[in-house]
Amino acid sequence: MTQFDGFTQETLQFLTAIKDNNNKQSFEKNKSIFKEEVQHKSQDFVMAMDDALKSISPELGGDVRLNGSGSIFRIYRDVRFSKDKTPYKTHLGILFWDKRFKKMSGPGFYFHLEPPKLSLYCGVYEIPRDKMSDFRDGIADNKSGKQLLGIIDKGEKMGFETSEPHYKRFPIGYDVEDERKTLLLHNTLFFKKTTVIPNEIFSENLIDYTLKVWEKMAPVYFWLKNIM
């Protein structure tokens, strides 16, 4: 297993500083810290977690590339269509996904570090259009749909937040009258847990800490994996 010894105070300080001074001058001044304490530490995290996630499913994995194709999201914001023209993201985002799917098109696990909080996710951010009918069929099916209700109920009892409805109109052709009906309005499905950044962030124990949370969230991953 790849050695990962935790993120550092400098990692958190960089993210906090870029939030307070979100401009090119500030970023360039701290670029060496960004490369060493954010990017390189993130690559170590990806390699270590890539190994650890195999205990949940062998299809899961990460990618250490830094060009936007890999697990580590780019820090540069796309401001072309946004009123907010600040150039940099103020968080570190890392995605691990089921490699049978293209990145962002299937279920996976997401790590979101934004001082002073850490958020962990499991699920899919947005159901691809070509998979929406499979998603809705899975909800409408008595067996898999009721299984999903049980998964969500158990997750909420463990304190996980769940995704919210997106559409206002129910899709045509689905005869569902119980709690599953609201799920037909979703275009996403995930669990989320947000906490104050734990002390484990600064050590190799972050791998076990994160994995234990994701193991509890994993039923959402397996449900999506089976129906998409």
In angstroms, the Cα distances linking 123 to 104, 105, 210, 220 are: 10, 11, 15, 6
The string of pLDDT tens digits covering residues 71-95 is 999 999 988 888 888 999 999 999 9
Asked whether residue 204 is domain-assigned, the answer is yes
pTM: 0.95
Give the position of tokens 């609201």: 182
| Listed residue (30, 28, 6, 5) closest to 16, CA to CA | 30
Q: Residue 91 domain-assigned?
A: yes
Q: What pLDDT is stored for residue 2 in this prediction?
A: 58
Q: Let me know if residue 197 belongs to a domain.
A: yes
In a domain, 1, yes or no: no
Which of 49, 40, 48, 51 lies closest to 7 in space, CA to CA? 40
Supply the range of the domain harboring residue 212: 9-227
The chain-wide mean pLDDT, for the chain, equals 95
Torsion of CA 175, 176, 177, 183, to 10 degrees: -140
Establish if 3 belongs to a structural domain.
no
The candidate with the shortest Cα–Cα distance to 27, out of 83, 93, 89, is: 89
Mean pLDDT, 10 residues at a time, over the chain (228 residues)? 87 95 94 96 97 96 93 92 89 96 95 98 95 96 95 97 94 88 95 98 98 98 96
Report the CATH number at residue 110. Answer: 3.30.930.20
Q: How many separate domains does the chain show?
A: 1
Q: What are 179's two structure tokens?
A: 């709690």
pLDDT computed for residue 78 by the predictor? 87
Pairing of strands 108-114, 92-98: antiparallel
Specify the pLDDT at position 192: 98
Task: Assess if residue 180 is contained within a domain.
Answer: yes
